[in-house]
């Protein structure tokens, strides 16, 4: 009974830990979401409004750009988040249940699984770094932004200025928000297991 109580306590503590971490990550998502507004050109920011930015802000409401790129990031992260939470729980739960420390092989598995959850952000970081001042490079968001402008009649150059930076923040905010939901899911999984043990 003593060992059973210890195991239940360990699972409950782990559940609370995941919930706290989820809330912390959600705050990170909110920070990324509002960061572009804190650096709005003309309010102490050195970022300039380009002709492309002016055109986009004229043709599209700001809420459309914010919500559109946020939702895009959130949706793209859904499947990696589900895979991450499923595999992480499969690997980590047996150890947490028994109160054992992971060996080197298990740590490597956890690192690989964590990489799956972070994959969309990592891929975008790599592709986003190919963007140039007057060309989107391999940045998919830059090309999407340019397409949105040209679909409304824009015929000028591409500029990597304010809006291009802002949409990347909103996109990453969506990714981080969905990832935080994965940690909430882990919280409920651990809480369910802990509650199940109390019923025995």
Among 148, 145, 150, residue whose Cα is nearest residue 167: 145
Span 129-150, mean pLDDT?
92
- The pLDDT of 89-111, averaged and rounded, is 80
Mean pLDDT value of segment 179-200: 76
Pair of tokens at residue 21: 């971490």
* 53 close to 165: Cβ distance less than 8 angstroms: no
**What does the pLDDT read at residue 198?**
42
pLDDT band at 166 (very low <50, low <70, confident <90, very high): very high
CA gap 49, 159 in Å, rounded: 9
Which residue stretches of the chain are H helix? 2-38, 51-59, 62-98, 104-128, 140-151, 162-199
Quick check: 136 and 143 in contact, CB under 8 A? Answer: yes
pLDDT for the residue 78: 95
What is the rounded average pLDDT of the residues 138-150? 94
Segment 70-78 mean pLDDT:
96
Question: For residue 197, is pLDDT > 70?
Answer: no
Give tens-digit pLDDT for 14-64: 778 888 889 999 999 999 999 988 877 755 556 678 899 999 999 999 999
pLDDT of residue 42: 59
How does 17-51 read in b/e, with b if 16+ C-beta sit within 10 Å?
A: ebbeebeebbebbeebbeebeeeeeeeeeebeebe
- The Cα 64–Cα 145 span in angstroms is 12
Pairwise CA distance, residues 68 & 167, whole Å: 9
The whole-angstrom separation of Cα 169 and Cα 160 is 14
What the block records as the tokens of 12 is: 């409950």
Mapping DSSP onto H, E and C, the string for 122-163 reads HHHHHHHCCCECCECCCCHHHHHHHHHHHHCCCCCCCCCCHH
For 41-50, write each residue's pLDDT tens digit. 755 556 678 8
pLDDT value of residue 31: 94
Q: What is the residue extent of each domain of the chain?
A: 2-41+48-199
What pLDDT is recorded for position 29? Answer: 95
Q: What is the per-residue pLDDT for 105?
A: 83
């Amino acid at each position: 009974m003593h060992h059973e109580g210890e195991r239940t306590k360990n699972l409950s503590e782990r559940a609370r830990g995941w919930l706290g971490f989820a809330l912390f990550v959600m705050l990170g998502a909110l920070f990324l979401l509002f960061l572009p507004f804190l650096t709005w050109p003309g309010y102490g920011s050195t970022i300039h409004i380009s002709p492309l930015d002016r055109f986009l802000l004229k043709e599209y409401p700001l809420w459309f750009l914010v919500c559109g790129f946020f939702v895009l990031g959130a949706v793209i992260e859904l499947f990696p988040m589900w895979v991450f939470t499923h595999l992480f729980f499969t690997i980590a739960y047996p150890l947490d249940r028994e109160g054992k420390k992971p060996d080197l092989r298990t740590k490597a598995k956890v690192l690989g699984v964590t990489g799956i959850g972070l994959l969309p952000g990592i891929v975008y970081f790599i592709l986003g770094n190919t963007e140039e001042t007057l060309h989107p490079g391999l940045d998919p968001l830059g090309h999407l932004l340019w397409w949105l402008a040209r679909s409304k009649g824009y015929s000028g150059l591409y500029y990597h200025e304010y809006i291009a930076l802002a949409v990347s923040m909103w996109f990453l905010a969506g990714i981080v928000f969905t990832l935080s939901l994965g940690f909430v899911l882990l919280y409920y999984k651990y809480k369910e297991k802990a509650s199940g043990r109390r019923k025995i």
